[in-house]
């Protein structure tokens, strides 16, 4: 059992090792590239095509950015036209699916000669992959070989290259076979037409770039029927960009077909411009406006493309070399020539620095400076052109450098740090200038020294001193502002609280000593006495309460008033007759109860209720009096 | 070594070698020394590159800023000055005096640069620009923010003491409190306002120096306003607002927009 199991495991492992690891291999395998040319021999002005087929095994990504370097004398007439391609092949027992693109360039030679074109390249998996170089012979106009005719395999005359005889069996009235619908360019497809008859559509190849990186603006004119002419043209505004036209407005790159919704429209490229952003931020490319007049349009109509928003960021700070200037973006190389290498002091040498490459060529260079070396302003010449949609070329800086001090002078080297957005990394183009021998000139004129207006400025500092300690400003702390205003506010509020407390204390004291309160306390005492069956005491307390309440309500000291006069006194001060009578009755009842040994609880409770009712009446009067 | 431990050991060794091989970032001190050496050798372009690199790295130090100003000045003295070098030199000196306010050499150097700008302006026949700061800036600038802050605290203490003493009845202390209270109150209002306003200016504005021959005043869309007098090189301004390549600045009593590239903002050291 164990031996059988081990054997099975070993067989399975061996089988697994033999199986290919399709995903990893597919990811790492380079794409298969095939380069084809329509004609090896052509003539000046006759278009020919170069086609690059790039197929990759990975199905999640396809080769991108096809590019074709061209020698001088060959120019692009149109393209590249990029068509997606999917291929499925049977390889042994496996089905292999490949995805890729077919890029086609239509070229044209401007002068005769032998040319090596290419190699065409694509980017796949972050790497550049190149196809084959194509050799083409270009003859003078009219001297090129005749174009091969398409041969009819059933035409025996054609097979042997004999002149074709007229076919007497052809029916001249037979209708033409229905032509196949034209192939549309998927890159130009639009979901819906924004206007009828004709409209403009502007696109850029990128919407987020770094400062100085090229983006290409293309404006297409879509139309359904011919016979429409332009009446006015307003170019798209791009004030925040440096512009290089890729397509000459007078050139006609040809018409392509594009799907617009469910219909097929004609699309013509009317503008193609390389733009280099000059500043950071969200920059806008304004619309292009063209006025049209013609068939299918209601009079003169104005069509405009949509404005485009481009986000421009600075190149990454990580890995940025010293001396990098924002905007130096591309891929550059640098060469320098210095002559002569042997001069007299005070004389000048010529330093010619050529910067070439793709991208935003720098407009100035940082020259090495040393004592006794004076770099004069350079003469700049440039040769910049659009090649395969990318701006590339060279800029030559010609300096006159004056050398004042005799001896062997090392001119140092010139450096140009740049950022390459294609490879997403920095590079530095360098050119060593070498040494120059400067001889002492016997009759060299004495250098006239000018007045130094900065001689009173101190010398540079040779060591880093102690940096002053910067503490956070005191006003940035919340506690400072609390402390600033809290102490006086606390004192003011404390004084106010103290005054209020004193007032409250006095009010309490006054309330405690008030007659009304005394009356209430006596009534409470009377109730207690009543419960304890001390009816005499209860009557005495009720009498005391009534006198206190009368005094509190009317300020009449009723103890010193004759019982018979009391009602009149009370009514004089606004007490109702009923209340006045009730007062006298309560007082008389108290007197009776105090001296009645047979007094019972019922009488006492009745007296208490009567006194309580009286206290309510007198309390109303007291409040009204206040 | 056992075979099991061999491969991990080699991997660790390779990793350590890789770490040692990796390029170490150059320290600020070493870059500063390189810059000083370049200045002494007369290679002012290299010196400028080095001191600008230190600034780009966010290393704020008065001696670095001073030497950066000196590097630009050296290029001017070598008659290889470029447009804006005087302004960039002034920016270096201003930054040095901003970080170290008692740096007399930096203050003097900035004054010399401005005098040279004024001389150049006068020789070219252009009118001199006379700047008078606004009253709030004059008052707030009479003393540092910290001085106003501490004076406000003293005033608060005076007011509090006066309020306490006023509680005493019919005594010399009551009289002292009666006098101290309004004085403390007024002083608190004045000094707290100045401290608060100084704080507001510090937090809402950024000091900057004009680094072009003339900073043109434009409107919010960036269109030049020809009637507005341009701001001369090396002038110190306050940046109030930034918007898509434009900066709103205050120069004396004037406020307006200019291109951000015309200015160099001065780095301020971070508080500990």
Report yes or no: A64 and A54 within 8 Å, Cβ to Cβ. Answer: no
Residue A414 lies in a domain: yes
CB-CB: which of A240, A369, A474 is closest to B80? A369
- Please give the residue that has the higher pLDDT: either A90 or A212: A212
By DSSP bridging, strand A113-117 and strand A134-139 are antiparallel
CB-CB: which of B67, B159, B167 is closest to A460? B67
- In a mutational test of the A interface, the residue from B244, B259, B272 whose CB has the highest number of chain A CBs within 10 Å is B244
- Please give the residue that has the higher pLDDT: either B20 or A36: A36
CB-CB: which of B50, B195, B202 is closest to A322? B50
Residue A193 lies in a domain: yes
Interchain pair A374, B78: CB under 8 A: yes
Interchain pair A374, B61: CB under 8 A: no
Does the pTM of the predicted model rise above 0.90? no
pLDDT of residue A182: 55
Interchain pair A470, B271: CB under 8 A: yes
Minimal Cα–Cα distance from B99 to chain A, Å? 7
What count of CB pairs under 8 Å joins A to B? 148
Check whether A23 has a pLDDT greater than 60: no
Minimal Cα–Cα distance from A513 to chain B, Å? 29
What the block records as the tokens of A417 is 């740090």
pLDDT of residue A177: 43
* Cα separation, B200 vs B248, whole angstroms: 17
By DSSP bridging, strand A134-139 and strand A41-43 are parallel
Q: Are A150 and A212 in a shared domain?
A: no
Q: Are A119 and A198 in a shared domain?
A: no
Q: Using the 3D structure, point to which of A439, A471, A490 is the last residue of a domain.
A: A439
pLDDT of residue A300: 84
Minimal Cα–Cα distance from B70 to chain A, Å? 6
User: How many whole angstroms from its chain centre is CA A155?
Assistant: 66
Q: Are A153 and A195 in a shared domain?
A: no
- In a mutational test of the B interface, the residue from A324, A464, A478 whose CB has the highest number of chain B CBs within 10 Å is A464
Q: Is A407 left (phi over 0), alpha (psi -120 to 50) or beta?
A: left
Number of continuous H segments (helices) and E segments (strands) in chain A: 9, 31
pLDDT of residue B35: 93
Minimal Cα–Cα distance from B86 to chain A, Å? 11
Check whether A504 has a pLDDT greater than 90: yes
Interchain pair A368, B164: CB under 8 A: no
* Cα separation, B163 vs A279, whole angstroms: 60
Interchain pair A467, B67: CB under 8 A: no
What the block records as the tokens of A575 is 């007490």
User: How many whole angstroms from its chain centre is CA A63?
Assistant: 28
Interchain pair A454, B36: CB under 8 A: no
Interchain pair A457, B198: CB under 8 A: no
Closest CA to B28 of B20, B36, B39: B36
Q: Are A155 and A206 in a shared domain?
A: no
Minimal Cα–Cα distance from A428 to chain B, Å? 14
- Give SS3 for A524: helix
Q: In chain B, which residue's Cα lies nearest the Cα of A312?
A: B244
Q: Are A204 and A150 in a shared domain?
A: no
CB-CB: which of B42, B146, B159 is closest to A488? B159
Interchain pair A461, B199: CB under 8 A: no
**Strand locations in A126-235 (E):** 127-130, 134-139, 198-204, 208-210, 215-223, 228-234
Q: Are A299 and A345 in a shared domain?
A: no
Residue A216 lies in a domain: yes
Contacts of A345 (CB under 8 A, 6+ apart): A403, A404, A405, A406, A438, A439, A440, A441, A444
pLDDT of residue A67: 85
By DSSP bridging, strand A435-439 and strand A342-344 are parallel
Contacts of A403 (CB under 8 A, 6+ apart): A343, A345, A346, A347, A348, A349, A372, A373, A374, A409, A436, A438
CATH of the domain at A534: 1.20.120
**Partners of residue B185 in chain A, C-beta under 8 Å:** 488
- In a mutational test of the A interface, the residue from B60, B160, B187, B268 whose CB has the highest number of chain A CBs within 10 Å is B160
pLDDT mean across residues, chain A? 80
Minimal Cα–Cα distance from B36 to chain A, Å? 6
pLDDT of residue A179: 44
Minimal Cα–Cα distance from B4 to chain A, Å? 22
What the block records as the tokens of A594 is 């105090």
Q: In chain B, which residue's Cα lies nearest the Cα of A413?
A: B46
Q: In chain A, which residue's Cα lies nearest the Cα of B117?
A: A453
Residue A66 lies in a domain: yes
Q: Are A293 and A354 in a shared domain?
A: no
pLDDT digits (tens, 9 = 90+) for B27-81: 888 999 999 999 988 888 899 999 998 998 888 999 999 999 999 999 988 888 8
* Cα separation, B54 vs A323, whole angstroms: 11
Contacts of A300 (CB under 8 A, 6+ apart): A231, A291, A292, A293
| Whole-Å CA distances, B20 to A539, B7, B16, B102 | 111, 20, 6, 43
Burial of B89 (0-12, 13-18, 19+ CB in 10 A): buried
Check whether A248 has a pLDDT greater than 70: yes
Q: In chain A, which residue's Cα lies nearest the Cα of B59?
A: A467
Q: Is A502 left (phi over 0), alpha (psi -120 to 50) or beta?
A: alpha
Rounded mean pLDDT for each run of 10 residues along chain B, 272 residues in total = 55 53 68 92 89 89 94 88 92 92 91 88 70 81 89 94 85 89 94 93 91 89 82 92 88 89 87 66
* Cα separation, A292 vs A228, whole angstroms: 7
Q: Using the 3D structure, point to which of A439, A462, A486 is the last residue of a domain.
A: A439
* Cα separation, A369 vs A373, whole angstroms: 7
Interchain pair A460, B70: CB under 8 A: yes
pLDDT band at A171 (very low <50, low <70, confident <90, very high): very low
CB-CB: which of A468, A484, A490 is closest to B100? A468
Interchain pair A464, B32: CB under 8 A: yes
CATH of the domain at A350: 2.60.40
pLDDT digits (tens, 9 = 90+) for A317-327: 888 888 888 88
Q: Are A191 and A301 in a shared domain?
A: yes
* Cα separation, B159 vs A213, whole angstroms: 64
Please identify which residue in the block is written with the tokens 């540079």: A460
Residue positions counted in chain A: 626
Q: Are A152 and A211 in a shared domain?
A: no
Domain count, chain A: 4
* Cα separation, B196 vs B183, whole angstroms: 20
- Please give the residue that has the higher pLDDT: either A337 or A167: A337
Interchain pair B188, A488: CB under 8 A: yes
Element (H, E) at A264: strand A263-277
CATH of the domain at A220: 2.60.40.10
Residue A178 lies in a domain: no
Q: Using the 3D structure, point to which of A439, A470, A491 is the last residue of a domain.
A: A439
Most confident by average pLDDT, A67-71, A294-298, A369-373: A67-71
CB-CB: which of B45, B156, B261 is closest to A369? B45
The per-residue DSSP string of A566-626 comes to HHHHHHHTT--HHHHHHHHHHHHHHHHHHT-TT--HHHHHHHHHHHHHHHHHHHHHHHHH-
Beta-carbon-side half-sphere exposure of residue A27 (alpha carbons within 13 Å): 4
pLDDT band at A96 (very low <50, low <70, confident <90, very high): low
Exposed e or buried b per residue across B181-218, where buried means at least 16 C-beta atoms within 10 angstroms of its C-beta:
beebbebbeebbebbbbbbebbeebbbbbbbbbbbbbb
pLDDT digits (tens, 9 = 90+) for A424-479: 889 999 998 888 888 886 665 555 555 677 877 888 898 888 877 777 888 888 99
Interchain pair B160, A487: CB under 8 A: yes
- Give SS3 for A485: helix
Report yes or no: A133 and A118 within 8 Å, Cβ to Cβ. Answer: yes
Minimal Cα–Cα distance from B236 to chain A, Å? 19
Interchain pair A474, B80: CB under 8 A: no
Check whether A165 has a pLDDT greater than 80: no
**Partners of residue B32 in chain A, C-beta under 8 Å:** 464
**Partners of residue B71 in chain A, C-beta under 8 Å:** 460
pLDDT of residue B96: 93
- HEC sequence for chain B: CCHHHHHHHHHHHHHHHHHHHCCCCCCHHHHHHHHHHHHHCCCHHHHHHHHHHHHHCCCCCHHHHHHHHHHHHHHHHCCCCCCCHHHHHHHHHHHHHHHCCCCHHHHHHHHHHHHHHHHHHHHCCCCCCCCCCCHHHHHHCCCCHHHHHHHHHHHHHHHHHHHHHCCCCCCHHHHHHHHHHHHHHHHHHHHHHHHHHHHHHHHHCEEEEECCCEECCECCCCCECCCCCCEECCCEEEEEEEECCEEEEEECCEEEEEEHHHEEECCCCCCC
Interchain pair A484, B156: CB under 8 A: yes
| Whole-Å CA distances, B135 to A68, B138, B144 | 66, 5, 16
Q: Are A103 and A201 in a shared domain?
A: no
- In a mutational test of the B interface, the residue from A309, A448, A461, A481 whose CB has the highest number of chain B CBs within 10 Å is A461
Residue A9 lies in a domain: no
Lowest mean pLDDT among A22-31, A245-254, A475-484, A512-521: A22-31
- In a mutational test of the B interface, the residue from A475, A486, A499, A502 whose CB has the highest number of chain B CBs within 10 Å is A475
pLDDT digits (tens, 9 = 90+) for A480-495: 999 889 888 998 999 8
Q: State mean pLDDT over A222-244.
A: 85
What the block records as the tokens of A319 is 């890995």
* Cα separation, A335 vs A354, whole angstroms: 5
pLDDT band at A172 (very low <50, low <70, confident <90, very high): very low
**Partners of residue A370 in chain B, C-beta under 8 Å:** 41-43
CB atoms near residue A31 (< 10 Å) = 22
> Any idea what DSSP says for residue A471?
P
CB-CB: which of B149, B163, B199 is closest to A492? B163
Q: Are A541 and A573 in a shared domain?
A: yes
Report yes or no: A306 and A289 within 8 Å, Cβ to Cβ. Answer: no
Interchain pair A465, B62: CB under 8 A: yes
Interchain pair B269, A470: CB under 8 A: yes
Residue A251 lies in a domain: yes
For chain B, the maximum distance between any two Cα atoms, rounded to a whole number of angstroms, is 100
Residue positions counted in chain B: 272
- Residue A416 structural domain: 336-439
Q: Are A30 and A154 in a shared domain?
A: yes
> Any idea what DSSP says for residue A467?
P
pLDDT of residue B184: 93
Interchain pair B67, A461: CB under 8 A: yes
pLDDT of residue A21: 39
Backbone angles phi, psi at A250, to 5 degrees: -85, -15
pLDDT of residue A59: 56
Residue A196 lies in a domain: yes
**Partners of residue A320 in chain B, C-beta under 8 Å:** 56
**Partners of residue A433 in chain B, C-beta under 8 Å:** none
Check whether A601 has a pLDDT greater than 90: no
């Amino acid at each position: 059992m164990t031996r059988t199991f081990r054997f099975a495991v070993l067989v399975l492992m061996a089988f697994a090792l033999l199986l290919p690891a399709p995903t990893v291999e597919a990811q790492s395998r380079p794409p298969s590239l095939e380069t084809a040319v329509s004609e090896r021999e052509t003539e000046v002005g006759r278009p020919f095509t170069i086609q690059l087929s790039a197929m990759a095994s990975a199905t999640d990504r396809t080769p991108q950015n096809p590019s074709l370097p061209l020698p001088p004398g060959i120019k692009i007439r149109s393209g590249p036209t990029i068509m997606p391609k999917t291929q499925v092949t049977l390889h042994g027992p496996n089905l292999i699916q490949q995805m890729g693109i077919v890029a086609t360039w239509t070229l044209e030679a401007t002068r005769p000669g032998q040319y090596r074109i290419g190699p065409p390249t694509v980017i796949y998996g972050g790497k550049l992959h190149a196809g084959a170089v194509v050799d083409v012979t270009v003859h003078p106009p009219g001297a090129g070989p005749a174009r091969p005719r398409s041969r009819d395999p059933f035409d025996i005359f054609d097979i042997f290259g004999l002149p074709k005889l007229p076919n007497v069996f052809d029916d001249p009235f037979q209708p033409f076979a229905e032509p196949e619908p034209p192939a549309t360019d998927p890159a130009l497809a639009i979901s819906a037409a924004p206007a009828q008859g004709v409209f403009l559509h502007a696109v850029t190849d990128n919407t987020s770039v770094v400062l100085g990186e090229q983006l290409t603006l293309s404006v297409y004119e879509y139309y359904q029927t011919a016979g429409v002419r332009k009446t006015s043209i307003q170019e798209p505004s791009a004030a925040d960009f440096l512009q290089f036209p890729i397509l000459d407005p007078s050139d006609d790159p040809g018409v392509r077909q594009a799907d617009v919704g469910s219909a097929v429209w004609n699309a013509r490229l009317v503008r193609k411009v390389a733009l280099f952003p000059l500043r950071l931020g969200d920059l806008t490319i304004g619309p292009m406006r063209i006025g049209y007049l013609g068939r299918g349009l209601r009079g003169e109509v104005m069509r405009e493309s949509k404005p485009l928003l481009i986000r421009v960021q600075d190149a990454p700070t990580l890995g940025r070399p010293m001396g990098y200037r924002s905007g130096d973006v591309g891929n550059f190389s640098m060469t320098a020539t210095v002559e002569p290498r042997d001069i007299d002091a005070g004389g000048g040498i010529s330093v010619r620095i050529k910067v070439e490459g793709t991208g935003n060529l720098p407009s100035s260079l940082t020259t090495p400076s040393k004592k006794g070396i004076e770099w004069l302003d350079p003469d700049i010449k440039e040769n910049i052109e659009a090649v395969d949609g990318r701006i590339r070329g060279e800029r030559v800086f010609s300096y006159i450098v004056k050398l004042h001090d005799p001896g062997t002078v090392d001119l140092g080297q010139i450096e140009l740090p740049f950022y390459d957005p294609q490879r997403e990394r920095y590079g530095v183009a360098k050119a060593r200038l070498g040494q120059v021998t400067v001889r002492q000139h016997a009759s060299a004129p004495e250098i006239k020294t000018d007045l130094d207006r900065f001689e009173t400025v101190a010398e540079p500092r040779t060591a880093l001193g102690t940096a002053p300690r910067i503490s956070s400003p005191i006003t940035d702390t919340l506690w400072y502002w609390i402390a600033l205003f809290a102490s006086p506010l606390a004192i003011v509020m404390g004084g106010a609280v103290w005054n209020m407390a004193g007032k409250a204390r006095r009010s309490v004291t006054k309330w405690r000593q008030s007659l009304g309160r005394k009356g209430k306390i006596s009534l409470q005492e009377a109730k207690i006495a009543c419960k304890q069956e001390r009816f005499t005491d209860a009557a005495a307390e009720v009498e005391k309460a009534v006198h206190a309440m009368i005094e509190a309500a009317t300020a009449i000291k009723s103890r010193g008033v004759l019982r018979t006069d009391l009602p009149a006194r009370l009514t004089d001060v606004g007490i109702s007759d009923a209340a006045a009578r009730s007062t006298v009755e309560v007082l008389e009842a108290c007197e009776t109860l105090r001296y009645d040994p047979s007094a019972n609880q019922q009488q006492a409770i009745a007296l208490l209720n009567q006194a309580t009712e009286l206290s309510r009446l007198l309390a109303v009067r007291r409040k009204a009096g206040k | 070594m056992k075979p099991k431990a061999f491969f991990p050991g080699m991997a660790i060794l390779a990793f350590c070698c890789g770490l040692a091989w990796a390029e170490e970032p150059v320290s600020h001190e070493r870059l500063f020394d390189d810059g000083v050496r370049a200045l002494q050798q007369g290679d002012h372009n290299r010196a400028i590159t080095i001191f600008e690199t230190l600034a780009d790295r966010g290393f704020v130090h008065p001696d670095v800023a001073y030497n950066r100003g000196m590097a630009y000045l050296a290029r001017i003295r070598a008659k290889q000055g470029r447009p804006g070098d005087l302004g960039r030199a002034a920016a270096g000196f201003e930054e040095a005096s901003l970080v170290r306010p008692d740096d007399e050499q930096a203050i003097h150097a900035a004054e010399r640069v401005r005098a040279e700008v004024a001389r150049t302006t006068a020789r070219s026949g252009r009118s001199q620009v006379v700047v008078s700061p606004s009253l709030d800036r004059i008052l707030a600038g009479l003393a540092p923010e910290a001085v106003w802050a501490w004076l406000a605290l003293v005033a608060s203490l005076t007011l509090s003491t006066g309020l306490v003493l006023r509680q005493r009845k019919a005594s010399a202390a009551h009289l002292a409190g009666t006098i101290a209270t309004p004085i403390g109150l007024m002083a608190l209002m004045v000094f707290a306002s100045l401290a608060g306003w100084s704080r507001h200016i510090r937090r809402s504005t950024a000091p900057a120096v004009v680094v072009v021959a003339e900073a043109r005043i434009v409107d919010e869309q960036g269109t030049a306003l020809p009637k507005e007098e341009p701001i001369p090189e090396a002038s110190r301004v306050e940046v109030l607002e930034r918007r898509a390549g434009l900066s709103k600045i205050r120069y004396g009593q004037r406020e307006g927009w200019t291109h951000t590239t015309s200015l160099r903002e001065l780095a301020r050291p971070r508080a500990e």
